[in-house]
Amino acid sequence: MPKVVSQIPEAKGHWILGHARELRDGLLDTLVALYRTHGPVFQMRAMRRRFVVLAGAEANNFVARHEAETMTTRHHYEWFGRELGSERFLLALSGDDHRVARRILRPGYSKAHITRRLLSLCILAERTLGRFEPGPRRHPLDDVRRIVVDQIGLALGNRPAGEMVHDLERAISTLLRVTVSRSAPRALLWSPRFLLARARMRNLVRTAIAEHGSGPPTDRPRDHIDDLLAARTPDGEPLDPAFLEASAHGPFVAGLDTVASTLAIALFTLARDRALRTALEAEADALFADGPPTAAAMRKARLLHAALMETLRLYPVTPVVVRTTTCPIEFEGHRIPAGQDLLVAHCVPHKLAEYFPDPEAFVPERFLPPREEHRAQPGIYAPFAVGPHTCLGAGIADVLLLLDAAYILHRFEIAVPPNLTKLELRYDPVAMPRNLRLEIVRERHPPPPFVAAGAPEATA
């Protein structure tokens, strides 16, 4: 039997800041380097807290098996939930409480909410893209954020919300930075700009709930809020209004920055290599050749799908999650006490050559047969995390990313400025590209006729 020891190796950082700065500017690469030095368990300081880091495929498999009975998310997300009206927020629940809530909320995150509205989603993308002219786009992240807010708003709450993009962005990122990553001062929660943005976000969600009525919709596709209103607790009761309202924010708070940042990064990875871009443009053109896109046609865009998986491997926007142990745990020969904050670095295997040869190279084919490197063993590819809190919106994210990337590639030839060779990400807590710029070289196709003619079938 291997000896179990309590002494966990310490990754030494700056005497005051610990590893805060490296984590903010290079989270994943820092954790990969520390994993190589210290192995799958080590401790470090950041944000005035001491974390034990669990990293590598072994850690992912351990967390997937044991999180429910040994870890909690409460200390990390309860405050966030409270600011949205209920500390019984899905991410803040653990164990049985979480299992029950997740079962209740799961139908609302069905991929069908998106695939039923593919044409409307293209029409909404066109609202932003229709304003593009050939030339440099200095803030592509802002462009894609607007597209994604419109789409999430329509597909999940029947309300395109593009005009509220700045309020949503400010409210969500302030809440995440103050209450979850704790990188911003608490005083920001009293700033008039934040209070106004949060009030507008809550108003958007409340209005959407009020507009939904009690029965199933007859004049539009069913959505996330319909499912929340129809949901019943194990006792057969409707959801408590505060829990319902906090949960209705879910697609925005969990889906907006993650999808927008991944899509912006993807435009960089897909456009950078001319041969790849040409092959992807051909797949994108095929998707829009015979009328509005369908879920079946999207499944045929296999290279684009692989390129997006490769983007999420190299640039995962949420490569760690935080937890606290609820009881002592033993992992890889170390005993970790109850009450210890953990950083589960679930994307560290993405950058290990033993699983993904030449890990820094962008190679979509590694996700296609015969290579399929991500399938070689469990726990090595986890852009959406592992364990009971694995992303509930992963299917929705996959569809949005593929549809939007394909639509943009179909409409425009995009290029990366020659002096932009390395993408810099800032993690706070979702990774955002800091130096991304793109060039619209030319319009490849006008809006397809079914998009030009349409208006999104939204609204009451």
Among 447, 450, 444, residue whose Cα is nearest residue 282? 444
In the complex, least distance from residue 71 CB atom to ligand HEM, rounded to whole angstroms: 10
Among 332, 315, 344, residue whose Cα is nearest residue 434? 315
Tell me which of 43, 60, 262, 340 binds ligand HEM, using CB under 6 A. Answer: 262
Binding positions for ligand HEM, 44-103, rule CB under 6 A: 90-91, 102
Q: Which stretch binds ligand HEM (CB under 6 A): 6-14, 129-137, 189-197, 379-387?
A: 379-387
Tell me which of 33, 230, 368, 391 binds ligand HEM, using CB under 6 A. Answer: 391
Tokens 């993807």 sit at which residue?
A: 266
Does 200 engage in binding with ligand HEM (CB under 6 A)? no
Q: Tell me, what DSSP letter sits at residue 212?
A: T
Does 258 engage in binding with ligand HEM (CB under 6 A)? yes
Cβ neighbours for 236, distance < 8 A, ≥ 6 positions apart: none
Among 262, 336, 308, residue whose Cα is nearest residue 406? 308
Does 321 engage in binding with ligand HEM (CB under 6 A)? yes
**Integer Cα distance of 301 and 374 in angstroms:** 19
Q: Which stretch binds ligand HEM (CB under 6 A): 127-135, 232-240, 384-392, 435-443?
A: 384-392
Contact 394, 384 (CB under 8 A): yes
**Among residues 287 and 385, whose Cβ is nearest to ligand HEM?**
385
Alpha-carbon distances of 66 from 39, 62, 437, rounded to whole Å: 20, 6, 42
Among 240, 309, 270, residue whose Cα is nearest residue 413? 270
Q: Tell me, what amino acid is at 78?
A: E
Residue 92's CB: how many other CB atoms inside 10 A? 23
**Among residues 385 and 440, whose Cβ is nearest to ligand HEM?**
385
Tell me which of 194, 268, 367, 384 binds ligand HEM, using CB under 6 A. Answer: 384
Does 392 engage in binding with ligand HEM (CB under 6 A)? yes
**Integer Cα distance of 457 and 70 in angstroms:** 46
**Integer Cα distance of 318 and 311 in angstroms:** 13
In the complex, least distance from residue 152 CB atom to ligand HEM, rounded to whole angstroms: 6
Does 317 engage in binding with ligand HEM (CB under 6 A)? yes
Does 383 engage in binding with ligand HEM (CB under 6 A)? yes
Does 255 engage in binding with ligand HEM (CB under 6 A)? yes
**Among residues 222 and 444, whose Cβ is nearest to ligand HEM?**
222
**Among residues 303 and 391, whose Cβ is nearest to ligand HEM?**
391
Does 254 engage in binding with ligand HEM (CB under 6 A)? yes
**Integer Cα distance of 241 and 375 in angstroms:** 42
Number of residues that bind ligand HEM (CB under 6 A): 23
Does 389 engage in binding with ligand HEM (CB under 6 A)? yes
Distance between alpha carbon 274 and the CA centroid of its chain, in Å? 27
**Among residues 393 and 447, whose Cβ is nearest to ligand HEM?**
393
Tell me which of 250, 364, 433, 456 binds ligand HEM, using CB under 6 A. Answer: 250
Longest Cα separation, the chain: 70
**Integer Cα distance of 91 and 77 in angstroms:** 6
Contact 410, 281 (CB under 8 A): yes
In the complex, least distance from residue 255 CB atom to ligand HEM, rounded to whole angstroms: 3
Tokens 């927020």 sit at which residue?
A: 89
In the complex, least distance from residue 250 CB atom to ligand HEM, rounded to whole angstroms: 5
**Among residues 98 and 439, whose Cβ is nearest to ligand HEM?**
98
The residues that touch ligand HEM, with contacts defined as CB under 6 A, are: 90-91, 102, 109, 250-251, 254-255, 258-259, 262, 317-318, 321, 383-385, 389, 391-393, 396-397
